[in-house]
Structure 1
Amino acid sequence: MKNTIITAIFLAFGLPATATDLELSVESGGAHQVTVGSGATVDFTITGVLSDTNNQGLAMFAFDLVFDGGSLDQVSNPGSPELLNFASPLGINNPAGYGGTPIGGDLIQVGGAQNTIKQGFAPQPSGTTITGIGHASVLLATGSLTAPVASGVYSLDVENIFANVIRGGTSPSDLFWHVVGADGQASGLEVTVVACEASNYCTAKQNSQGCTPAMGSAGTPSLSGPDDFLVTASNMINNATGIMFWGLAPANTPFGGGTLCVSPPLVRTAVQDSGGTSPPAIDCSGTYSHHFSQAAMQTAGLGVGTTFYAQQWQRDVTHSDGTGTGLSDGLAVTICP
Structure 2
Amino acid sequence: MKKLILQNASYRYLEQSFKEWLDIQGYAPSTVYNLPNHIRELLHYLESKDINNIKELNIKHIERYYHQLKERGNQRRGGGLSNAHLNKHIQSLRKFTSYLRKVGRLEIPEITLKDEETVNKIIYLTEEEIRLLFKATYQEWEKKLNVSPEVSEAIRARDRAMLAVFYGCGLRRNEGVMLDVCDINFDRSVLHVRKGKNYKERFVPISKTNLKYLTEYIYDHRGELTKGVKTDAVFVAYTTAKRMQGQSLFVRLKNLQYQTGDLDLIEKEIGLHTLRHSIATHFLQAGMKLESISRFLGHSSLESTQIYTHVAGIPIERAQPFNNIKEYESIRLSEDEF
Q: Note whether the superposition's TM-score is higher than 0.5.
A: no
What's the TM-score, normalizing by structure 2? 0.21
Looking at secondary structure, tell me which structure has more helix per residue. Answer: 2
Asked which structure has the greater CA Rg, the reply is 1
Looking at secondary structure, tell me which structure has more strand per residue. Answer: 1
Question: Which has the bigger relative contact order, CA under 8 A and spacing at least 6?
Answer: 1
